[in-house]
């Protein structure tokens, strides 16, 4: 790193690097305590959470500062690592550190013997994963970026296959690694285009290049492919519902809540920072892919009967909304509508932070349920809120935030996104003005279906009667797990109650990327969130909360006044059935059946009809993904055929191999002589 004289003159970037180095130190300590579970769980993971809090505070301080750069004498000769801390990287550092602090505290109580990998090795992989994500958003050249990107992919791969003795988990890990490396090829080619044949792969050089619209579009499409594979955009989403159920729950929380945001960061960095031009049809592509991913994800989530697969498809839906917001920002920016571009970017960044907290909370909640019951299938759960009240009530906050209900953070981000669409009639293109309202209506549909999915998730798992007798032995979360969940709940609540203050943190980012911000307009609204003008729209989360509280108190007083404080206990109305059982309540399959019927073309349905001769006839429906049969299976078959043809070259005879070498040498000489 470039030396800076005197501790008093150290910059934010220096302290950020020290914090990241502390994560790496914790990772190395894990290697020296491979099987000392108590030390790893009670010391190293909490230490990682404390470091995350320090990094969050440092990133918060750097959000309003000027960009800082550093050069690390690492890597290859002549290729040092260039790092840069600006408003965009500081914001995503806050997201990474803020969510990982809660996940690390939860992990301190979650990891135990029987995870398939020694606790110390899990600690090493976990903290290398955290450090690599932080360094991805700090990298300021293609070499450092790709090294950190691959480190992030490899460390998360080993975390996914922690229980590697199970064949399904190994297959899920292989699929994740395959898609991750295919995406990395697209990112590498994007950087090759951006450096414009100068040989200088620093981001500073890429910013200085003036690309033609053609080459700028090529770079954008390559970036969209590469980062879209990591984000789980349709049709590159297939790894996500396989890897998340395979990984331990804290790892699933980090991958879904945090790692996916590095792909969002990459798209923003390339589109708005490294490229000096935005073309309107880029926004249309982002809108289309984002909307398709959002609708696809929420429809498949509604039909799932596995807790973690349901949340994985829900992540595809939320990433789709994020890319739709980015696409709208590109449209506004291409037509010079900077304030509207800032509004759409604010919605995207707000949703990125909100999703990091509520999706991490939902995944760690499922982890607590999984450890307490040993079940992941919704069809075997139910009534857990009476045995696991801490997990039930805290998970409810995450479900409400994911459903987009006020006064939580998920509502603010989706409300800002819908406000962005209300201003699209100002676009100079009449065809776009006709198309955008349809897109806005579909986003409203996605939001409604997201609420439907969360009702299914929480209701089937925590409400009703237990579907298995063994659920009566379920235990509530421990102290460390509760602490981690409480931190994530605090993030969901504060993002909902303090949108004006959080938009002030986003304002430097939108000014850097779009040349405009909402900070001044929002600050003038007092406690009202006013995106543009108060005549257009406003939202007061504190006023809303006070209204709900006042209404609740008045209702309680009226009930007490009318009934004079008397209460009467009696059995609940049972619809005429005096002996209710768990079989009489709605199942996960039954809850999702209306969605399966309405959106049947989305699914590849495989029905197994019962035989009349079966002693216990059963009707089974398997829901598949069309993209497996349309894209991935044909590609896999083609690769296998080509591999067999290439395998014919291996004759096992040295004379044949010498002929190959001789023919190759002649071909090279002919090319050189030309």
Q: Which pLDDT value is given to residue 8?
A: 36
Cβ(541)–Cβ(528) under 8 Å? Answer: no
Q: Which pLDDT value is given to residue 354?
A: 93
Residue 556 in this model has a pLDDT that exceeds 80: no
Residue 339 in this model has a pLDDT that exceeds 90: no
Residue 1 in this model has a pLDDT that exceeds 50: no
- pLDDT, greater one: 161 or 573: 161
Going by C-alpha positions, the residue among 359, 301, 271, 224 that lies closest to residue 592 is 301
- pLDDT, greater one: 534 or 573: 573
Q: Which pLDDT value is given to residue 525?
A: 62
Q: Which of 13-22, 216-225, 384-393, 544-553 has the lowest mean pLDDT?
A: 544-553
Looking at 478-585, which runs of residues are DSSP E strands?
none
Cβ(317)–Cβ(602) under 8 Å? Answer: no
Q: Which pLDDT value is given to residue 186?
A: 93
Q: Which pLDDT value is given to residue 578?
A: 61
Distance CA 432, CA 423 (A): 12
For residue 99, what are its two tokens?
Answer: 């969510």
CA gyration radius, the chain: 27
Q: Which pLDDT value is given to residue 352?
A: 94
Q: Which pLDDT value is given to residue 6?
A: 37
Residue 9 in this model has a pLDDT that exceeds 60: no
Helix (H) or strand (E) holding 604: strand 603-608
For residue 491, what are its two tokens?
Answer: 């993030």
- pLDDT, greater one: 388 or 472: 388
Distance CA 511, CA 87 (A): 9
Distance CA 121, CA 105 (A): 18
| DSSP letters for 89-106 | HHHHHHHHHHHHHHHHHH
Q: Give the residues across from 126 on adjacent strands.
A: none
Residue 196 in this model has a pLDDT that exceeds 50: yes
| Span 624-657, pLDDT tens digits | 788 888 888 888 888 888 888 887 777 777 877 8
For residue 567, what are its two tokens?
Answer: 């209460």
Q: Which pLDDT value is given to residue 532?
A: 66
Burial 550-570 (b: 16+ CB within 10 A, else e): eeeeeeeeeeeeeeeeeeeee
Cβ(187)–Cβ(139) under 8 Å? Answer: no
Residue 496 in this model has a pLDDT that exceeds 70: yes
609: left (phi over 0), alpha (psi -120 to 50) or beta: beta
Distance CA 156, CA 164 (A): 13
- pLDDT, greater one: 587 or 332: 332
Q: What's the rounded mean pLDDT across residues 212-225? A: 92
Q: Which pLDDT value is given to residue 500?
A: 86
Distance CA 43, CA 22 (A): 14
Cβ(244)–Cβ(312) under 8 Å? Answer: yes
DSSP H helices, 255-388, are 260-268, 280-302, 307-334, 338-373
- 32: CB partners within 8 A, 6+ apart: 120
Secondary structure (3-state) at 624: strand
Going by C-alpha positions, the residue among 500, 319, 515, 291 that lies closest to residue 416 is 500
* Percent of the chain whose predicted confidence (pLDDT) is above 70: 89
Q: Which pLDDT value is given to residue 533?
A: 65
Distance CA 85, CA 69 (A): 6
Residue 176 in this model has a pLDDT that exceeds 50: yes
Distance CA 507, CA 519 (A): 5
For residue 275, what are its two tokens?
Answer: 């490229």
Burial 645-654 (b: 16+ CB within 10 A, else e): eeeeeeeeee
Q: Which of 67-81, 185-199, 230-244, 559-573 has the lowest mean pLDDT?
A: 559-573
Instruction: Look over the chain and give the mean of its residue pLDDT values, rounded to a whole number.
Output: 85
Query: Highest mean pLDDT range out of 214-218, 303-307, 415-419, 597-601?
Result: 214-218
Looking at 60-172, which runs of residues are DSSP E strands?
68-76, 79-85
Distance CA 320, CA 326 (A): 10
Q: Which pLDDT value is given to residue 11?
A: 67
Residue 514 in this model has a pLDDT that exceeds 50: yes
Cβ(437)–Cβ(418) under 8 Å? Answer: no
Answer whether 0.75 is exceeded by the pTM.
yes
Cβ(376)–Cβ(464) under 8 Å? Answer: no
Q: Confidence band (pLDDT; 50, 70, 90) for 559?
A: confident
Q: Confidence band (pLDDT; 50, 70, 90) for 124?
A: very high
DSSP H helices, 515-587, are 519-523, 541-563
Q: Which pLDDT value is given to residue 617?
A: 60
- pLDDT, greater one: 395 or 584: 395
Distance CA 290, CA 296 (A): 10
Cα–Cα distances in angstroms (integers) from residue 585 to residues 273, 411, 451, 577, in the given order: 53, 30, 20, 12
Cα–Cα distances in angstroms (integers) from residue 501 to residues 95, 175, 512, in the given order: 15, 41, 18
Q: Confidence band (pLDDT; 50, 70, 90) for 51?
A: very high
Helix (H) or strand (E) holding 603: strand 603-608
Going by C-alpha positions, the residue among 388, 355, 351, 386 that lies closest to residue 369 is 388
Rounded (10°) angle between helices 499-514 and 307-334: 50
Cβ(291)–Cβ(299) under 8 Å? Answer: no
Going by C-alpha positions, the residue among 110, 131, 391, 405 that lies closest to residue 258 is 131
């Amino acid at each position: 790193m470039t030396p800076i004289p005197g501790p008093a003159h150290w910059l934010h970037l220096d302290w950020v690097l020290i914090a990241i180095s502390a994560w790496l130190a914790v990772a190395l300590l894990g290697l020296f305590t491979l099987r000392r579970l108590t030390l790893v769980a009670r010391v190293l993971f909490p230490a990682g959470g404390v470091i995350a809090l320090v990094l969050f505070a440092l990133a918060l301080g750097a959000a309003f500062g000027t960009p800082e750069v550093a050069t690390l004498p690492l890597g290859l000769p002549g290729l040092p690592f260039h790092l840069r801390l600006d408003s965009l990287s500081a914001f995503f550092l806050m997201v990474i550190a803020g969510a990982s602090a809660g996940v690390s505290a939860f992990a301190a109580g979650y990891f135990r013997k029987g995870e398939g990998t020694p606790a110390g090795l899990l600690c090493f992989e976990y903290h290398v994963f955290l450090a690599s994500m932080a360094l991805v958003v700090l990298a300021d050249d293609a070499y450092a970026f790709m090294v950190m990107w691959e480190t992030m992919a490899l460390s998360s791969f080993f975390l996914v296959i922690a229980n590697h003795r199970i064949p399904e988990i190994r297959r899920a890990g292989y699929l994740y690694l395959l898609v991750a490396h295919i995406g990395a090829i697209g990112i590498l080619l994007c950087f090759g285009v951006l450096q414009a044949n100068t040989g200088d792969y620093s981001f500073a050089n890429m910013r200085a290049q003036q690309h033609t619209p053609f080459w700028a579009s090529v770079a954008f499409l390559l970036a969209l492919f590469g980062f879209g594979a990591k984000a789980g955009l349709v049709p590159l989403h297939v790894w996500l519902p396989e890897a998340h159920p395979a990984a331990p729950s804290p790892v699933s929380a980090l991958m879904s809540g945090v790692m996916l945001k590095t792909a969002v960061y990459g798209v923003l960095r390339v589109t708005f920072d490294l490229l000096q031009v935005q073309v309107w049809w880029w926004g249309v592509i982002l809108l289309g892919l984002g909307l398709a991913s959002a609708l696809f994800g929420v429809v498949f989530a509604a039909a799932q009967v596995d807790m973690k697969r349901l949340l994985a498809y829900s992540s595809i839906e939320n990433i789709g909304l994020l890319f739709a917001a980015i696409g709208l920002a590109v449209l506004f920016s291409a037509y010079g509508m900077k304030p509207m571009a800032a509004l759409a970017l604010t919605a995207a960044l707000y949703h990125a932070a909100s999703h990091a907290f509520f999706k991490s909370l939902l995944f760690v909640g499922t982890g607590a349920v999984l450890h307490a019951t040993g079940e992941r299938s919704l069809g075997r759960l139910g009534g857990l809120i009476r045995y696991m009240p801490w997990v039930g009530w805290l998970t409810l906050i995450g479900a409400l935030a994911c459903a987009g209900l006020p006064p939580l953070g998920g509502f603010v981000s989706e409300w800002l996104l819908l406000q962005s669409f209300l201003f699209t009639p100002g676009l100079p293109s009449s065809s776009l003005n006709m198309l955008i309202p349809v897109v806005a209506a579909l986003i409203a549909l996605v939001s409604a279906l997201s609420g439907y999915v969360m009702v299914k998730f929480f209701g089937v798992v925590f409400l009703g009667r237990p579907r298995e007798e063994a659920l009566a032995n379920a235990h509530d979360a421990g102290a460390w797990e509760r602490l981690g969940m409480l931190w994530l709940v605090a993030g969901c609540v504060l993002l909902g109650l303090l949108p004006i203050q959080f938009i002030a943190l986003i304002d430097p980012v939108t000014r850097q990327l779009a040349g405009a911000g909402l900070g001044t307009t929002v600050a003038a609204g007092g406690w009202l969130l006013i995106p543009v003008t108060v005549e257009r729209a406003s939202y007061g989360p504190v006023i809303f909360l006070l209204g709900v509280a006042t209404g609740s108190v008045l209702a309680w007083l009226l009930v007490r006044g009318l009934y004079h404080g008397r209460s009467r206990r009696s059995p609940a109305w049972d619809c005429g059935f005096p002996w209710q059982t768990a079989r009489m309540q709605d199942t996960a399959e039954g809850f999702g059946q209306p969605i399966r019927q309405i959106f049947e073309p989305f699914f590849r349905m495989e029905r197994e009809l019962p035989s009349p001769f079966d002693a216990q006839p059963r009707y089974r429906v398997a829901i598949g993904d069309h993209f497996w049969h349309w894209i991935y299976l044909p590609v896999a078959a083609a690769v296998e055929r080509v591999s067999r043809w290439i395998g014919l070259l291996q004759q096992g005879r040295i004379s044949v191999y010498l002929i190959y070498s001789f023919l190759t040498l002649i071909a090279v000489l002919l090319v050189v002589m030309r």
